[in-house]
Chain A
Amino acid sequence: MSAPLIWIGFPLILAILLWIPRRANITALLGGLSSLFLAALAWFLPVDTAIRLNETLSFKLSASLQILGREILITSADQPLFALLYGIASLWFFGSSAAGIARRLVPIGMGMVALLVASLSVQPFLYAALIIQATILIAVPLLSPPDQKPGRGIIRFLIYQTLAMPFILFSGWLLAGVESSPGDIELLTQAATLLALGFAFLLAIFPFYTWIPLLMEEVSPYAVGFVLWLLPSVTLLFALGFLDRYAWLREFAQLPSALRAAGVLMIVTAGIWAALQRHLGRTMGYAAIVNIGFSLLALSLIQDYQLSAFFLLMIPQALGLAVWSLALSVLKMREGSLIFRDLQGEIQRYPIIIAGLILAHFSAAALPLLAGFPPIIAIWEGVARQLLIAALWVGVGVASLLTGAIRTLAVVVMSTKDCPWELQGSLLQNILIGVGIFFIFVLGIFPQFMEPILTILPAAFAHLGS
């Protein structure tokens, strides 16, 4: 038995089997439980270490698997990372039934997670770009329901994400040349430019993020939320792989300022757009872009914070997106619209669901006591130490995002008539969002709960983690 079979092969088979159950809640439960089980295995089961079962029997999980002359390698340092990915994926799978898309999200999502784990484990790691592309193709049926005409959002998603692969593959070839002749400035610039272009497409960096708000308007917010959590997270881990692998790239003098510029640009532009929206889905889309901007800022601070700021962001962002997109999905399913004028005074009908939506938005805007506050404030402080003007621009973006949250709050409490308070939404929907709200507060008040992650996860990147 090998580790890639457990964390890649088994979930891929499961992704096919999960199409079988006819009831959505069974699919969600099975998907959630199996993902949680895979996370627990990744956390507890050691790779390449003999485990003695009894006097005569021992068991050893090998780390690698050979495919077509190449290797898929999962080391013990990678396991916490995969535990985190499968753990967060299980949250999304459990919530998918309440969002009404379990029968599509769970099987496709399981396949996507398995392929992305493969992309992080394949050797040479540059082949990851090809596997990420395969994942993007699998995501299309998730983002474009069979009974709905494909909109502009899905077409742009497909184009932008597909254009990333050639740039990354080709830059990988150039990077090998840079390694052998590090003094060649021209080659170095060409490799860095191609790499930057590839990641700009993959991470939806300004101006390639137009598909996000369009998709949020066109399809289920929960499906888009899942993709907006999974793809940027794994792409950023892939980017960390580049930094870890190539010393010249790590020490490239312009890298922190380039990452900072891209991050600030995303936070400011998306923050301002978020403040001006009248569609709650589009607002969340722009907030997701702000999230990616903060992740880029966290990477720009690697020399000061190593990877702690980056990993500190992961869970609050995933939790916020999950709660926010679930709340939006519930509202869209029940009210049929996410436009401001159709949701006036809805807090009296959906108190818990709207509270989840508002708190997730406030958390993304770094309101104190909420999950987003500790990582964002740490990153903001780090940026201010390096370049004050950049920190001021980040402030503009965050203030704009906060304005969007206050506008949303103003709309949902603006009841046109004197209607009584109700508790609309199913029990499951209210419980899941209630639990989400609880954890948004817990992570905001006790950020030290995330400390084990900060100490263990960076080990996957030997040159960046210390």
Chain B
Amino acid sequence: MTLQIISWSVVFILFAASLSLLLTKDWRWALALLAIQYIGVFWLTQLHWTISMAAVKLVTGWMAATTLGITRSALDPKLATASERSWPEGRLFRILTAALIFIIVISGTSGIARLLPGIGLAEVAGSLTLMTMGLLLLGLTAQPLSVVIGLLTFLAGFEVLYAAVEASILVAALLALINLGLALVGSYLLTAGLEELGAQE
């Protein structure tokens, strides 16, 4: 019972963190929220994996967030914010879309839980929340940092679901590699072309 309560609290935290991720325009907050998401992912994953295996996800996620943070903080603020816009920018629109997504997640949770024997409703709800919010984030932006955060969020959701069906060490290692790789690609894309922009300034 206690586990259930903690798990559902984690789902709530994941929803709040991913919604805040959708609303925030400050990259520091975005990366902090991403790091919080990985704590939730760790909890939901350790329900099916050993603590040490689940900790890989937490450490990898935090390393990815750190990599992006270090790169972003090293950028010239003028150049880095030169074209940071996203469509549509209204907060109310984003909140309403997130609410709609939450309803879809709630309605789809039991169906997916039936498909995966041994998985709890909380893991499915947490996973679907992250995946759908990640997709929403991807649909609303074309900025490299936000896109990579969106992809990491989507993958984090998938990893929660996949942990329930696959416990291979190689898969865990490859997924960790892909998360780190995405962060490195994000860092690369953040710094690419800055010299060109600087020259134009």
Binding site for B on A (CB under 8 A): 67-70, 127, 130-131, 133-134, 137-138, 140-141, 144-150, 152, 154-155, 158-159, 162-163, 165-166, 169-170, 173, 190
Contact = CB atoms under 8 A, between A and B. Distances in A.
A311 B151 CA distance: 35
Interface residues of B, number: 37
Contacts of B131: 166
Given A148-B193, A163-B154, A68 B162 contact: no
Contact of A158 (B165, B168, B171, B185): B185
Nearest to B188: A141
Given A130-B178, A146-B188, 9 more contacts: A137-B182, A140-B185, A144-B192, A146-B192, A147-B196, A150-B144, A152-B142, A154-B189, A162-B155
A159 B193 contact: no
B96 interface: no
B174 interface: yes
Given A145-B192, A148-B196, A166-B158, A69 B168 contact: yes
Interface of B: 115, 131, 138, 142, 144, 147, 150-151, 154-155, 158, 161-162, 165-166, 168-171, 173-175, 177-178, 181-182, 184-185, 188-189, 191-197
Contacts of B181: 134, 137-138
Contacts of A70: 168, 170
A170 to B, nearest CB: 7
A455 B127 CA distance: 47
Contacts of A68: 169-170, 173
Chief secondary structure at chain A's binding surface: helix
A131 B196 contact: no
Contacts of B138: 159
Nearest to A137: B181
Contacts of A131: 174
B175 to A, nearest CB: 7
A126 to B, nearest CB: 9
B189 A150 contact: yes
28 contacts: A68-B169, A70-B170, A130-B174, A130-B175, A137-B181, A137-B182, A137-B184, A137-B185, A145-B192, A146-B188, A147-B193, A148-B193, A149-B196, A150-B144, A150-B192, A150-B193, A152-B142, A154-B189, A155-B189, A158-B147, A162-B155, A163-B154, A165-B178, A166-B131, A169-B158, A169-B162, A169-B166, A190-B115
A211 to B, nearest CB: 12
A144 B158 contact: no
Given A130-B174, A149-B197, A173 B165 contact: yes
Contacts of A170: 158, 161-162
